[in-house]
């Protein structure tokens, strides 16, 4: 009877927001693993293709996002043309010159007769200088620096043009700084030169291999002196360097994307605007140092524009910024496919470029992966996302559940329906309940698990008490809440709290599962069934027969032992020919010879007769099979028989030669042979293992 104040209701999927989705998602990943994918590739495939949750809401996959980014980048390249990057600058220069000419004429018209002749000579000289201005913007700007304007409005327009170009150029190096320096006086230019020199020294220290701690201290001193120029500078020196690289990549991308003639013209404009060789040298050195520190060959990228819409220099810099952001986002999405964490800035960029739906989808996919990680099913490593031991057990339990679920629905042949019960005598200890365990509940351990979980939850809500205090309170709570007469609070049970008594069989069995991994298995579509059987059998033995042992041996031209952790990662090499049963049996004998189990057996899963054997330490392949191959393989069968190793064979094909060879094996070894279809392989292997396993006396 339920305790007062507690009410039980049917599961409707709302009690745990990601619960049903996680189970379904992990089931899909498991199916990919059964089909021969390694788990990281299966997870990458899921992230690429997207996911539709239990409510039918679709999460857009990264493959679609990357394609949208590619189309957006292509649209930018097809729309704009950089050949006009100086047209706006030329127009502004033309307006400056036209205004100056009108100002000269106005001065002449307003001049008194007495001073007109002198003014006419000055005006003629100014007009000559204007007529002789070079046609390129860089040369014209350089000449106008020494020109004495007669019209104040023309002079102000010229200064505005210089300030605009300076801001664009300096912004490509130090974006944060130019937000606070709208116009640069001579003193500010000198300050900029001094700051850039200090920054160069700091970056050279990194280039020379300075330690992380030393670099951080130097960076902090740099911020103390120049922090006013970088109000939003990050705390970390490494982040600051990455920020500088991103900013300077814009100018580098623009220079790479221009034609050689226009590149020289832009460089000429920059030189004429700054007119400070020391500053130009310092900025060039800064760009070279950052390029040396960059993992890429160049800071920026070259873009091929072929549109017809004209852009100004300022618009071109903004265009480089957008394209660079697309590149960075693309790199972050590809990094996420490799298991790298995705920051909030990437989500903001995605929202800005592809819309709210893409950002929501990516955040949802990230939550699903984090939930898998939080449940201890996957973990991040240097190789990417990997299954944990718990995750591998869960995949094995799914395989086992699929196969035994089928058995409950569909009896076949002479194999009776398996009913999982006690495996032997009850042990003294208990274990957490797992799928397939007999539900022989350890009530005391279950209640204590619930109390401990609730106590830990309260401790997490009170983090300021320290580990020792939490431990003392946890012990007191367990003592005070121990079930018994007059117990106060009734704990809420969760499925993870259940513990069951271990049941032990008095006999032990050591098994080697030999999986054919030759070329024919995937070509005929058999490897899926074989791998699923390996995972299910491993899960069955670990959960029901913990004293038994299972070793998986994969074989094609040669045989190799497969560690338990690698079973879920099993794949096949479609270009390896040969079914070397001889070498696989040799390896199985050595493995079983190391055990002290009372019962030893080999389970062979294959689709053909042996076509390879070992000769002089090397594999020899032949099809049709050589008589020597059969003879050497049967010799290994005899040795297994002498060592009391039972060989049970499950063949996925049948032909006259194969049947004849298998009959020879069974006569020599007295094991059993089954010729079955791949879709029934798991049914037969698991039922045969359970039924043929020796029982406790």
Owner of token pair 């809401």 = 57
Lowest mean pLDDT among 355-364, 444-453, 534-543: 534-543
Q: Which pLDDT does position 412 carry in this prediction?
A: 40
Is residue 538 within 8 A of residue 552, CB to CB? The reply is yes
For residue 346, is pLDDT > 50? yes
d(CA 511, CA 518): 21
Tell me the pLDDT tens digit for each residue of 560-613. 998 877 777 777 655 678 889 999 999 999 999 988 888 888 988 888 889 999
Find the distance separating the first CA and the last CA of the chain, reported in whole Å. 39
Burial class (CB in 10 A: 0-12, 13-18, 19+), 379: middle
Residue intervals in the chain for CATH 3.40.50.410? 505-692
Query: Strand pairing partners for 645?
Result: 600
pLDDT band at 639 (very low <50, low <70, confident <90, very high): very high
Based on DSSP, count helices (H) and strands (E) in the chain, helices before strands: 25, 16
Q: Look up residue 356 and give its two tokens.
A: 């709210």
Task: Give helix 152-171 / helix 260-274 axis angle, nearest 10°.
Answer: 110
Q: List, in order, residues 6 or more apart from 254 with CB less than 8 Å away.
A: 82, 85, 172, 266, 300, 316, 317, 320
Lowest mean pLDDT among 418-422, 471-475, 551-555: 418-422
pLDDT band at 383 (very low <50, low <70, confident <90, very high): low
Three-point CA angle 182, 197, 301, nearest 5°: 70
List phi, psi (to 5°) of 496: -75, -10
* Number of neighbouring beta carbons within 10 Å of residue 122: 14
Q: Look up residue 37 and give its two tokens.
A: 């994918």
List phi, psi (to 5°) of 382: -60, -25
Burial class (CB in 10 A: 0-12, 13-18, 19+), 294: middle
Q: Look up residue 476 and give its two tokens.
A: 């007191």
* Sign of the alpha-carbon dihedral angle for 604, 651, 533, 419: negative
For residue 414, is pLDDT > 80? no
Q: Is the pTM of this model over 0.75?
A: no
Longest dimension (CA), the chain: 135
Task: Give helix 62-79 / helix 344-354 axis angle, nearest 10°.
Answer: 60
For residue 492, is pLDDT > 70? yes
Q: Which pLDDT does position 244 carry in this prediction?
A: 82
pLDDT, greater one: 368 or 319: 319
Q: Which pLDDT does position 581 carry in this prediction?
A: 93
d(CA 696, CA 148): 110
From 530, 538, 536, select the one nearest 512 (Cα to Cα): 538
Tell me the pLDDT tens digit for each residue of 643-686. 999 888 888 887 788 888 888 988 999 888 878 776 666 656 66
Q: Which pLDDT does position 43 carry in this prediction?
A: 74
Residues counted in the chain = 697
d(CA 606, CA 603): 10
Is residue 549 within 8 A of residue 621, CB to CB? The reply is no
From 455, 453, 490, 460, select the one nearest 472 (Cα to Cα): 455
- In CATH, what number does 505-692 get? 3.40.50.410
Across 413-433, average pLDDT: 49
Torsion of CA 398, 403, 407, 413, to 10 degrees: -170
Burial class (CB in 10 A: 0-12, 13-18, 19+), 1: exposed
d(CA 254, CA 696): 80
């Amino acid at each position: 009877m339920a305790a007062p104040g507690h009410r039980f209701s049917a599961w409707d999927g709302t009690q745990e927001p990601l619960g049903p989705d996680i189970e379904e998602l992990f089931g899909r990943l498991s199916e990919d693993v059964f089909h021969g994918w390694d788990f990281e590739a299966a997870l990458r495939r899921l992230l690429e293709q997207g996911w539709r949750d239990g409510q039918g809401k679709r999460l857009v996959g990264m493959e679609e996002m990357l394609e949208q980014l590619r189309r957006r980048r292509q649209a930018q390249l097809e729309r704009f043309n950089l050949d006009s990057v100086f047209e706006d600058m030329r127009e502004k220069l033309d307006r400056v010159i036209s205004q100056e000419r009108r100002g000269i004429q106005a001065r002449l018209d307003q001049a008194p007769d007495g001073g007109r002749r002198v003014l006419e000579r000055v005006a003629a000289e100014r007009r000559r200088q204007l007529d002789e201005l070079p046609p390129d913007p860089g040369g014209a700007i350089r000449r106008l620096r020494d020109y004495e304007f007669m019209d104040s409005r023309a002079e102000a327009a010229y200064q505005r043009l210089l300030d605009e170009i300076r801001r664009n150029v300096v912004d490509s190096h130090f974006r944060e700084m130019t937000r606070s320096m709208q116009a640069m006086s001579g003193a500010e230019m000198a300050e900029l030169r001094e700051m850039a020199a200090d920054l160069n020294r700091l970056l050279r220290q990194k280039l020379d291999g300075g330690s992380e701690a030393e670099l951080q201290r130097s960076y902090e001193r740099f911020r103390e002196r120049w922090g006013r120029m970088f109000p939003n500078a990050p705390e970390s020196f490494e982040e600051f360097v990455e920020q500088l690289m991103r900013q300077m990549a814009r100018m580098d991308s623009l220079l790479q994307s221009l034609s050689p003639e226009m590149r020289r013209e832009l460089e000429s404009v920059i030189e004429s605007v700054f007119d400070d060789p020391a500053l130009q040298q310092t900025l060039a050195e800064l760009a070279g140092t950052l390029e040396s520190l960059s993992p890429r060959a160049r800071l920026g990228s070259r873009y091929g524009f072929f549109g017809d819409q004209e852009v100004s220099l300022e618009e071109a810099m903004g265009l480089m910024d957008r394209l660079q952001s697309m590149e960075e986002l693309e790199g972050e999405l590809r990094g996420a496919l490799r298991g790298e964490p995705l920051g909030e800035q990437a989500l903001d960029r995605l929202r800005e470029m592809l819309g709210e739906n893409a950002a929501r989808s990516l955040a949802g996919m990230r939550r699903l992966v984090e939930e898998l990680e939080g449940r201890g099913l996957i973990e991040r490593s240097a190789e990417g996302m990997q299954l944990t031991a718990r995750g591998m057990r869960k995949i094995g339990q799914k395989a086992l559940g699929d196969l035994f679920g089928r058995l409950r629905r569909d009896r076949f042949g002479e194999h009776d329906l398996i009913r999982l019960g006690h495996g032997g005598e009850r042990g003294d200890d208990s274990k957490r309940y797992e799928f397939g365990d007999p539900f022989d509940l350890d009530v005391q351990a279950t209640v204590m698990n619930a109390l401990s979980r609730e106590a830990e939850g309260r401790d997490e809500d009170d983090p300021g008490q320290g580990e020792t205090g939490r431990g003392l309170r946890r012990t007191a709570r367990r003592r005070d809440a121990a079930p018994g007469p007059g117990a106060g609070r009734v704990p809420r049970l969760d499925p993870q709290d259940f513990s069951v008594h271990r049941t032990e069989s008095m006999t032990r069995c050591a098994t080697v599962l030999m999986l054919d991994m030759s070329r024919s298995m995937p070509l005929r579509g058999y490897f899926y069934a074989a791998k699923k059987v390996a995972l299910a059998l491993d899960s069955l033995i670990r959960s029901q027969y913990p004293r038994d042992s299972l070793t998986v041996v994969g074989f094609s031209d040669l045989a190799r032992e497969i560690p338990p952790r690698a079973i879920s990662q099993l794949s096949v090499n479609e270009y390896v020919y040969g079914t070397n049963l001889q070498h696989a049996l040799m390896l199985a004998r050595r493995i079983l010879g190391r055990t002290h189990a009372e019962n030893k057996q080999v389970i062979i899963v294959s689709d053909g007769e042996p076509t390879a054997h070992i000769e002089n330490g090397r594999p020899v392949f032949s099809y049709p099979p050589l008589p020597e191959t059969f003879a050497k393989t049967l010799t290994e069968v005899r040795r297994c028989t002498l060592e009391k190793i039972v060989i049970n064979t499950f063949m996925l094909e049948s032909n006259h030669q194969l049947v004849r060879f298998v009959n020879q094996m069974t006569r020599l070894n007295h094991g059993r042979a089954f010729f079955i279809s791949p879709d029934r392989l798991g049914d037969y292997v698991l039922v045969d293992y359970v039924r043929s396993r020796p029982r406790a006396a």
